[in-house]
Structure 1
């Protein structure tokens, strides 16, 4: 990946957060594409599968809203995950119109593989930082994400 010419240390304070995020996302996508096997799921599916992994009793409706996609897209994606044996969809006992989505053991194994790659990328992009700097960076990013959620 080639950084735009504006990315110089003396200019670092003038670069918008958006541009940093854009470059990080690009780096992540490039890494994941280079390090995926033939049987790997499309990169666009990863956020859904990981969100299911780290959410308790998330619903199909929650995923549609969170990722701002159509109900049909979410249903097709989840059907694909079901066909792969990665998830189950069960009726919500409190609301029979909702489906609760959970990972299967096979889905846990798949997300473990994905997380290993994500951790590998994260270790690479933070390799010049100390453990303390990585902790500070994560805290600052957390604070920014919390504020962004209020918008």
Structure 2
């Protein structure tokens, strides 16, 4: 199969291009795409339990811990004891973190708006339908359900 016609190649190549683009924008603010992703997933008003962040973002605990440490060192977040569970911590945005979150959100909106302006509604609907189908097939373990060996 020609790699340009391979679905996984197109997904991977596109995601790598998007990640590079976001990292270039984040670098202008002394940040990273991963940090921006964390900022966007922290509840602005109430904070978010640290134990909820990893699963929410599909991130491994060690990677998340490293990012949270960097964010805390830069003053973007603070950690507070969870009043409902003394064993866990709530991650809260500082004023600086809220500002950085606004910048991150602006970049996401700009990206989405540029794509929406550049494709038809039908193409966008098809894109979401295809990606939803891929995610459902994977979640339902339908891709390799017969334990077929790769050739």
TM-score under structure 1 normalisation?
0.66
In structure 1, C-alpha distance between the alignment counterparts of 2:47 and 2:138, rounded to whole Å: 24
Deviations 1:61-109 (A, max 9, x none): 2234541132xx5344223222333222211112101001122332222
2:78 corresponds, among 74, 80, 88, to 88
Deviations 1:94-129 (A, max 9, x none): 210100112233222212211222233334445431
In structure 2, C-alpha distance between the alignment counterparts of 1:146 and 1:100, rounded to whole Å: 31
Partner of 2:148: none
- Superposition deviation, residue 145 in structure 1: 3.9
- Measured at CA, do residues 36 and 60 of structure 1 come closer, stay the same or move farther in structure 2, by a change above 3 Å? closer
- Superposition deviation, residue 52 in structure 1: 2.0
- Measured at CA, do residues 25 and 49 of structure 1 come closer, stay the same or move farther in structure 2, by a change above 3 Å? same
In structure 2, C-alpha distance between the alignment counterparts of 1:75 and 1:143, rounded to whole Å: 32
Q: Retained in 2: the 8 A contact 1:53–1:108?
A: no
1:121 corresponds, among 111, 118, 143, to 111
In structure 2, C-alpha distance between the alignment counterparts of 1:59 and 1:149, rounded to whole Å: 25
* Structure 1 gaps, min length 5: none
- Superposition deviation, residue 146 in structure 1: 5.7
Task: Note if 1:27 corresponds to 2:17.
Answer: yes
Within-5 A mapping of 1:39-118: 39-53=29-43, 57-65=47-55, 66-70=58-62, 73-118=63-108
Partner of 2:146: none
Q: Retained in 1: the 8 A contact 2:72–2:78?
A: yes
Aligned residue pairs, count:
138
- The range that moved more, 18-27 or 55-64, is 55-64
Q: Retained in 2: the 8 A contact 1:60–1:74?
A: no
Q: RMSD of aligned C-alpha atoms? A: 3.2
* Structure 2 gaps, min length 5: 142-151
